[in-house]
A and B are shown apart, each in its own frame.
Chain A
Amino acid sequence: MPLSAYLIVSAILFTVGVVGVLIRRNPLIIFMSIELMLNAVNLSFVAISSKLDSADG
């Protein structure tokens, strides 16, 4: 799969996390949305690392 496909999924997940932080009032669910954003960024790191064939990402 091309790199941009993974980056698009990562961007969508990040946006879902941002919207979750904005629309929910329960602090616990806001934390879960933050975890979602962190994991979206992790996915883009791993995809870029795999693309560049370097462990530095």
Chain B
Amino acid sequence: MTVVQISFFVLAVASVASALGVITFKNAVHCALSLILTLLFLALFYLQLGAMFIAVVQILIYAGAIMVLFLFVVTMLASEASDTQLADRIPWQRWVAGILGLVLVGALSYLLFTGTSIDNRAVATGANSLSHVVNAQGNTEAFGQALFHGFVYPFEVTSLLIIVALLGAMVLGRKA
């Protein structure tokens, strides 16, 4: 076992365990803290894969911004409303969810183990390959090259989508 393998297994077990914590803890604050832990483990996965910029952005945006927002919402309005007090719970919901989850993980692992491997796909080489660009220009520059040259149109559509969501939040917030 090399260091990479040991760290991978430790990270995999830790991230899956904290993800299970997100959906099993009763208290919403505990769920949010467990989700922060999962996101930090995912950032370590990105570091292991050599994606430094994505890892730093993951910590800044998710653990720093989005989860703080979640914690604010939890402490302001939804801390007492636990699952058991909501009356519209279906009794067999948990069993059906477990069965559907097993079906999903079975289907995903079937696809993973029987699907066409991408090992023999054409790996980018020469000046186009990511490692070449990273070595020549740096991690952030490689990310910016990909985002603002190949993916400009999806980037602009995303900004439009964010503006629409912002307007929707403003309209909904004014009525309340």
Contact = CB atoms under 8 A, between A and B. Distances in A.
B interface, by DSSP: helix, strand, loop or mixed? helix
B172 to A, nearest CB: 14
Interface of B: 4-5, 8, 12, 15-16, 19-20, 22-23, 28, 31-32, 35, 38-39, 42, 45-46, 48-51, 54, 58, 62, 66, 70, 73-74, 78, 81-83, 86, 88-89, 93-94, 96-98, 100-101, 104-105, 108-109, 112-113, 118-119, 121, 123-125, 128-131, 133, 142-143, 145-146, 150
B112 A55 contact: no
B45 A36 contact: no
Contacts of A50: 49-51, 130
Given A23-B97, A52-B118, A55-B143, A33 B23 contact: yes
28 contacts: A9-B12, A11-B109, A11-B112, A14-B104, A14-B108, A19-B98, A19-B100, A20-B23, A25-B83, A26-B28, A26-B81, A28-B28, A28-B70, A28-B74, A29-B22, A32-B70, A36-B19, A39-B39, A42-B42, A46-B46, A46-B51, A47-B49, A50-B130, A52-B121, A53-B129, A53-B131, A54-B123, A54-B124
A interface, by DSSP: helix, strand, loop or mixed? helix
